[in-house]
Amino acid sequence: KEYFHICFCVCFKDRNFFQQKLRSFFTVYLLLALSFLLIITLFAVSLSRGTVTSLKGLSDFPHSFLFPVFPCGPGSREWEYFDRKCYYFSLRRMSWHKAKAQCEEMHSQLAIIDSHAKQNFVMFRTRNERFWIGLTDENLEGEWEWIDGTDYKTTFTFWKEGEPNNSGSNENCAHLWNFGQWNDVYCTYECYYICEKPVPT
């Protein structure tokens, strides 16, 4: 009888201990589940707010807010950002002088390709099509000049082999040709053009 009494006490004690443990575990898990639920709710709320506000019209936002996403202006899909400048790749062909005027009308200028990085950027974008750039020797044959005054002699060039050749003694404007390499051609030739402008402030 004594034996059974002891066993009952021990077993009962064990059972109590086990139940207490279970309860504390349950409390911990409950708290964890609740905090998880809270985090999910907060995340969902912030996400839906973000979506709603973004749908209201991006152009309503201050420029500084959208700068990392649309540095060339939230209202424009025509200008592409590269290395602190905005570039426009025309969809129409025209002579070099008309292209120059078109860029100026858009408060920009024909592109100045003064680095390998910039050359790579325009090269991939122009895909072997001919595009005018802001380089000419119209003033004095053989004396190439960038239209913004960038020093031609000390900066990057990317002429196609054998160019500029002033073919027919009448090639005074530069454009991108196959693989983005430069060629001089007569200025009334009609091709696409690249404009560039600083990032709007």
Residues that bind Ca ion (CB under 5 A): 137, 163, 165-167, 171-172, 183-184
Beta carbon nearer to Ca ion, 41 or 165: 165
Beta carbon nearer to Ca ion, 35 or 165: 165
Beta carbon nearer to Ca ion, 155 or 165: 165
Closest separation in Å from C-beta 187 to Ca ion: 9
Closest separation in Å from C-beta 188 to Ca ion: 13
Could you tell me which of 116, 70, 82 has the C-alpha nearest to residue 194?
82
Show Cβ contacts of residue 17 under 8 Å, excluding neighbours closer than 6 positions.
none
Query: Which token pair is 79?
Result: 């200008």
Beta carbon nearer to Ca ion, 94 or 185: 185
Closest separation in Å from C-beta 66 to Ca ion: 43
Give me the residue whose beta carbon is nearest to Ca ion: 166
Show Cβ contacts of residue 8 under 8 Å, excluding neighbours closer than 6 positions.
none
CA distance 132 to 64: 32
Closest separation in Å from C-beta 174 to Ca ion: 9
Residue with tokens 């060039």: 157
CA distance 36 to 31: 9
Closest separation in Å from C-beta 110 to Ca ion: 17
Could you tell me which of 82, 102, 101, 81 has the C-alpha nearest to residue 90?
102
Query: In the beta sheet, which residues pair with residue 70?
Result: none
Beta carbon nearer to Ca ion, 108 or 172: 172
Residue with tokens 């500084």: 64
